[in-house]
Structure 1
Amino acid sequence: MADPTPVIDDLRAESRELDLLVAELIPERWRLPTPAASWTIAHQIAHLAWTDRAALLAVTEPDAFQPLVEKALAAPGSFVDEGAEEGAALPPAGLLATWRAGRTALGEALLQAPPGARFPWYGPPMSAASMATARLMETWAHGQDVADALSVVRPPTDRLRHVVRLGVRTRDFAYGVRGLAPPHEEFRVELRAPSGEVWAYGPEDAEQRVTGPALDFCLLVTRRAHRADLALTAEGPDADRWLGIAQAFAGPPGTGRPRERTERPAPEAGGPGEEDGR
């Protein structure tokens, strides 16, 4: 049985890092646009707070969580935006306090969960460790949007190992969400961690292989960058196809980020486009 404590600790650290980016912002800066179309920094934090609340409900009151699933099924194209809009309307201080309280309560609930417990979610039921991993992935990805809006470069950390693992494990999901049949054989994935370590998954002799920096893989599977702007290499047609559709998050894939280099008519002109998906 996987001990959720390490990933919960990393989730808390990832949240604190993002908190430092927004805690001292003046109210006007909370309205800065981020790369996600129509979402400001306030929308990004509001979305995290909203999802933390949903996760807390799933962990502590599973029966009360079911209406949220029904709402999502009734309005799959708008329920995420509605949650973000509601929170983004709060004064920044209130939104920040809400996010802090919710993520703290969720962390405590996950630590206290009985061993082996599984909780309902918008996809398959999740263990405490899996729930914390998913929350870390979202915190990192939406934190990237906030950092981009503020023109801040965040040094990558080995907390990315959780996002990498989730990205590898959701390979077949990425095919399924597009109505495609996943390959039968396993892939070999070898990625260079920020620390220099190599994180490897799958059989060493696999014909289909993906290699490159772990950071780039995380940007790809969270659809925070265009594949053409990343230093990832695919060997084999199936691995190549996967890199074109990979995603580590539930729900529709959206359009992804445009390729930065081709969005600019000249090196000194233009700028990165916006993403339609979340």
Structure 2
Amino acid sequence: MNKRTVNISSLVLLLSLLSLITTMCLYYLVPMHYVSVIFAGVASVLLAHFFLESSLNYDYNFLHAASMTVSTLVFAIAIYVIQPNEWICFDFWLPCLVLANWIIPFLYCTLRDLFDRGPRFDGYHKFFNRMCIFFTLIYIFVIAKQYFITPIVPPYHSLKFGAHNFIPFMATGTYIEHTFKAGKSINEFVFYALQLVCLGIPFGYLCRVALRKLNFVFRIIIYILFPAALEAAQYMTGLGRGDIDDCVFSLIGIFIGVVLFHIMNGAFQTIATRDFMISRAQQKKYHF
């Protein structure tokens, strides 16, 4: 490791730390917590641009994204653990803050690799692989929490841990019907369903990336088995609540994740005439 590499790495960590401190202060001081998310997004774009232009390498963007994501995740966990607290509260914007620190550098670098021409910047495929592996580790933690520690439950459930529902959409349909008849909002149910869909999206995308050379039928089986295994584990261990409706919503998310993969790959095939996981230096079109 040469002196220039050490200097850039130190600069990445320093600027990331300053961005993190500012973000935490905004979250604490400003009641509208989305302000901290907006700041984090803008800072991530500016820093990602600066690191890429100054180093001509995607490696430092991974270091920046990883350090910021881990730091904000620790911050979010700390706030979650100390709840209830009159000074600072855990809300929807805190997970968004963690996600923003990962996805914005990822999207920025992806767009740069898509539209840049020539060999000036190389190594995106390594950056992509590292970001996927890093996100997978975070994703495993989130799945464990949301399914087994503090599970997502529909608004109509008042059942204990270990309860289950294996009749598709019976409880869901009944709840929606009664809610409409009572003239009430179904926002709680929509939020519950969206959480499950969003949890399925990363698996669909990452699974399509990791198993891109696997037979289509086997991939379909894996897509179906993943949410089914989670619900079965909840039912068998008594941790959480096994619900077949959760499988359906998760499968919708998985399908969206697969579609996002094909959109991204199609964009690279059309604009850059290559697969996004192949080095820019190779510059050849690759078909799955």
Fold shared per TM-score above 0.5: no
Q: TM-score range by the shorter chain?
A: 0.3 to 0.5
TM-score w.r.t. length of structure 1? 0.34
Report the structure, 1 or 2, having the larger helix content: 2
- Give the structure with the larger strand fraction: 1
